Structure 1
Amino acid sequence: MIPDPPTAVRLVPPRDKLTGKIALPGSKSITNRVLLIAALACGTSRITGALKSDDTQYMARALEQLGAKVGDTGDTEFLVESSGTLIASQNPLFLGNAGTAVRFLTAATANIHGKSVLTGDAHMQKRPIAPLVAALRAAGVMVEASTGCPPVTVNGEGGFKTRSIDVDASLSSQYVSALMMAGTGGDTPFSLRVKGGDIGARGYIDITLACMRDFGADITQTGPLSWDIANHPYRARDYWVEPDASAATYIWGINALTGASLDIGIAPEAMMQPDAKAYDVIKQFPDLPAVIDGSQMQDAIPTIAVLAAFNNRPVRFVGIANLRVKECDRINAVASELNRIQPGLAEEITDDLLITPDRNLIGRTVEVDVETYHDHRIAMSFALAGLVIGGLRILNPGCTAKTYPGYWRDLHSVGVEMAFD
């Protein structure tokens, strides 16, 4: 019997080779983009292959508060019916710790006539949103976030008054995506530029552009990091969401670390998500490169960092400063928990992470509780360590519900023994 909620899970390193198929959940990044765009389109959109998790359910419920109808028509399906125009909600939009939802909706509610308040849990209220607030103010929107983090109050007047703005995207590409998706509203085209040519994960911008175009948006790239977005309405349509590449990294990592043959049913080159590029790095294990630039595959870095603890040589992760402002400070979290397993495995060097591996850990038993910091990616990444080191207890395993509710079930289905407390 699994406690609800479980306080910890202990994995048993497998004695035999793990084999089988795992059907990954849909991409969170794509699901939340498409949910919003479908709600901004007039008509009915059926979204299949979608992720059903805490983050996407927060987005779906918020869109319902804003006047769209979002039906749960299957385990991996949403049916979105909308007039194409969102309306103000009398109650605050509570978005948990869903960063995509709060940032995307902060920009989208600028198109509403009325006041919108967006908030979240204690972790969300520490996640920066000031650069997006500054960009919206530059667009003539009345918006307040007194701490630079949620809660955010947006007093919408039907769209962006200033139709050409710059945005600082050095902390997150989500600010750019948020403005892009909302920018189709208004009476004239919208021009957006990234300040200083500095951006986090550029690949997520490409996902946003692809989703927008699939729903009929007309976008012209005017420079390396600048775009003109026509004021054309979105068109409702049916849309299939590809499997989540960030979730795939855990399975690729298990295959590399344990010699498993787990099949996820899709090749990495068939995915458009940035984290699919992590496959080319993971497949090099146990000879991972000495330096890994994580700037364009940020959500994959905790997985690769745990793998690096068992590599043949030290690995330094660079370009990962943005990991400090995710669901937790992931640089510190990974370093702290690896050093809890064995002191000296990890070192923070400014915003880089240096892993000094010890392959002799494989097959040992280390009685340690691994803290997950309420962060789904920390929990799922350290599961890899629990498959080669006995005795590890991963605390708060239920936090994986944020993006991969069936993670532990899927591992069990391919032969991983585990015990919950």
Structure 2
Amino acid sequence: MTALPAALTLIPPTHPLVGRVSPPGSKSITNRALLLAALADGTSRLTGALKSKDTVLMAAALRQMGVSIEEPDATSFVVTGTGKLTAPDGPLFLGNAGTATRFLTAAVATVDGTVIVDGDAHMRLRPIAPLVTALRSLGIDAAAETGCPPITIHGKGSFGRGRVEIDSGLSSQYVSALLMAAPMGEGPIEVALTGSDIGARGYVDLTLAAMRAFGAKVEQVDAGTWRVQPTGYSAADFVIEPDASAATYLWGAAALTGGDIDLGVASDAFTQPDALAQAVIAQFPNLPAVIDGSQMQDAVPTIAVLAAFNTTPVRFVGIANLRVKECDRISALSTELNRIRSGLAREEGDDLVVNSDPTLAGQTLPARIETYADHRIAMSFALAGLRIGGITILDPSCVGKTYPDYWDMLAGLGVGMVGE
């Protein structure tokens, strides 16, 4: 669907969803690879990449800082850098792209000059203060007046040296941002967690793997400390794996309809933490009574919608970080599930409890789902429309943030939709 309407109503299919679907490339890995290739000296070829709103914004910001980025086809970037970023001629606008905003906030400290990192109204509500505080501890002149974007960084052409501590409780992206910038230091840099709590450690592992692919030397000192050598980065050819977060919708659609969707990649072949969701989804309609979402945060909306059809109630724990994503996803999930049927979900502190009701399947329960400009709310609640009649997704175009072809994918599997 090239031009999406303001709302889409799904028509529940009368058959199991069966077919072959290739998920888009990983957003998380694409944005890491774009940044590392931009910091490298030479030409890097990134294949299997995601072309979506978030990655387009990242590429545009890097181009503003003197990086050449060509796009020879729909899933490739050819990135040529000089080993350093240059001061842009204006603020870097990153919409509501959390990865791009956090990663660049650290990386632009290596620029010799002033850089402003900014986003849209949603991004201006997402916290960045812990990262700014960490940058200051390295002697970097960084400020975020509200504790959220915009951030102003007065760079001196280097990332400094020494030890930097970071509270990663709100987001593992702070850790990844510091790690990726650290090879651009004047000397070795130690990145240390101030506590054992880290939003999603698997994403830090993704970061380290990508850094090493571009020539970084990183030593893990202990469970919460990494020592990074000032090597800079070398150009490399890099293959980006399919997006595990996107795969959760396909696994969920197959589970809900009794279908079989071949992704072309085994779940255990993913290195992204959201792939852990497959083993949970495979238990539907007998999901565990308690699900810890701390290490598969972006999969929680998918599983929460599945939980509405489960045989028994499900409590989601370890998900406090979902309150500072593109929207407050805990509140959004509870509100929209209750829009389908009152009492279907509730918030208890930072836990989400879904009061499952398998008899929902086959009913017609007209509900206009608010998506809060959040792609994951839109895509996950579309799954409810596979079993319940009358589910309407508002602002369906917000899926362009990470999965522009999402609605075409569902249509290709035989799901009917009516626009308005």
Q: Counterpart of 1:175 in structure 2: which amino acid? A: Y
Residue 283 (structure 1) aligns with: 282
**Rounded Cα–Cα distance in structure 1 between residues aligned with 2:151 and 2:38:** 21
2:352 corresponds to which residue? 353
Q: 2:14 is aligned with what amino acid?
A: R
Contact kept? 2:159, 2:186, Cα under 8 Å? no
The structural deviation recorded for 1:16 is 1.7
How far, CA to CA, are the matches of 2:265 and 2:54 in structure 1?
23
Instruction: Measure, in 2, the Cα distance between the counterparts of 1:18 and 1:305.
Output: 20
Partner of 1:308: 307
1:292 aligns with 2:260: no
Is the Cα–Cα contact under 8 Å of residues 15 and 257 in structure 2 kept in the other structure?
Answer: no
User: Contact between 1:158 and 1:186, CA under 8 Å: does it hold in 2?
Assistant: no
Give distance in 2, aligned partners of 1:408 and 1:376.
12
Deviations 1:40-65 (A, max 9, x none): 00000010000000000000000000
1:316 counterpart SS class: strand
Q: Give the partner amino acid of 2:123.
A: M
Task: Give the equivalent residue in structure 1 for 2:84.
Answer: 85
Match of 1:6 in 2: 5
Q: Determine the C-alpha separation between the residues in 2 that align with 1:187 and 1:336.
A: 49
Partner of 2:114: 115
After superposition, give the CA deviation of every residue in 1:26-51 in whole Å (9 maximum; x if it has no partner): 00000000000000000000100000
Runs of 4+ in 1 over 4 A off after TM superposition: none
Deviations 1:263-283 (A, max 9, x none): 111011000000000001000
Distance 1:148 1:405, change over 3 A: same
Distance 1:8 1:201 in 2: 33
SS in 2 for 1:276: helix
Determine the C-alpha separation between the residues in 2 that align with 1:325 and 1:5: 27
Deviations along 1:382-408, one digit per CA (max 9) or x if unpaired, are 011000000111100000000000000
How much does 1:196 deviate? 1.5
Three-state SS of the structure 1 residue aligned to 2:183 is coil
Aligned partner of 1:418 in structure 2 is 417
Measure how far apart 1:420 and its partner are. Answer: 1.5
Match of 1:370 in 2: 369
CA distance in 2, matches of 1:173, 1:218: 20
Q: Distance in 1 between matches of 2:230 and 2:374?
A: 38
Matches within 5 A, 1:1-400: 4-400=3-399
Supply the distance in 2 between the matched residues of 1:4 and 1:235 (Cα, whole angstroms): 40
Quote the offset at 1:73 in angstroms: 1.4
Q: How many Å separate the matches in 2 of 1:406 and 1:170?
A: 33
Counterpart CA distance in 2 for 1:16 and 1:362 is 13
Displacement of 1:161: 3.0
- Identify which range, 4-13 or 37-46, moves more after superposition: 4-13
- Amino-acid identity (%): 59
Secondary structure of 1:196's aligned partner: coil
Question: What is the rounded CA distance, in whole Å, between the counterparts of 1:233 and 1:132 in structure 2?
Answer: 21
Measured against aligned partners, the alpha-carbon deviations of 1:133-172 in whole angstroms (never above 9, x if no partner) come to 0000111100110000000000001223342110110000
Report the CA distance shift for 1:5/1:20 in structure 2 as closer, same or farther (over 3 A). closer
| Structure 2 contact 16–254 (Cα < 8 Å) conserved | no
Give the conservation status (yes or no) of the 8 Å contact 2:252–2:302. yes
CA shift for structure 1 position 177: 0.2
CA distance in 1, matches of 2:288, 2:221: 36
State the alpha-carbon separation in 2 of the partners of residues 340 and 186 from structure 1.
51
Secondary structure at the aligned position of 1:280 is classed as helix
The alpha carbon displacement at 1:5 in A equals 4.3
Q: CA deviation at 1:83?
A: 0.5
Distance in 2 (alpha carbons) for counterparts of 1:386 and 1:244 = 23
Question: After alignment, is 42-51 or 410-419 more displaced?
Answer: 410-419
Give, as a single letter, the amino acid of the residue that structure 2 aligns with 1:119: D
State the SS of the aligned residue for 1:197.
coil
Instruction: Report the 3-state secondary structure (helix = DSSP H, G, I; strand = E; otherwise coil) of the residue aligned with 1:74.
Output: coil
Structure 1 Cα separation of the partners of residues 240 and 209 of structure 2: 12
Amino acid at match of 1:388: R
* SS state at 2:165 partner: strand
Work out whether residues 160 and 186 of structure 2, in 8 Å CA contact, stay in contact via their aligned partners in 1.
no
Assess if the C-alpha contact under 8 Å between 2:46 and 2:238 holds in 1: yes
> What TM-score does the superposition give when structure 2 sets the normalisation length?
0.99
The alpha carbon displacement at 1:3 in A equals 8.0
Moved more, 230-239 or 25-34: 230-239
- SS of 2:305's equivalent in the other structure is helix
Query: C-alpha deviations, 1:289-323, integer Å up to 9, x for none?
Result: 00000000000000000000000101000000000
SS of equivalent to 1:166: strand
> Are the equivalent residues in 2 in contact too, given 1:139–1:164 (CA < 8 A)?
yes
SS of the residue aligned with 1:70?
strand
Q: How many Å apart are 1:72 and its aligned residue?
A: 1.5
Contact 1:3 1:420 in 2 (8 A): no
Deviation at 1:4, TM superposition (A): 3.3
SS at structure 2 position matched to 1:221? strand
Q: Tell me how many residue pairs correspond in the alignment.
A: 420
Question: Could you list the runs of 5+ residues in structure 1 that have no partner in the other structure?
Answer: none
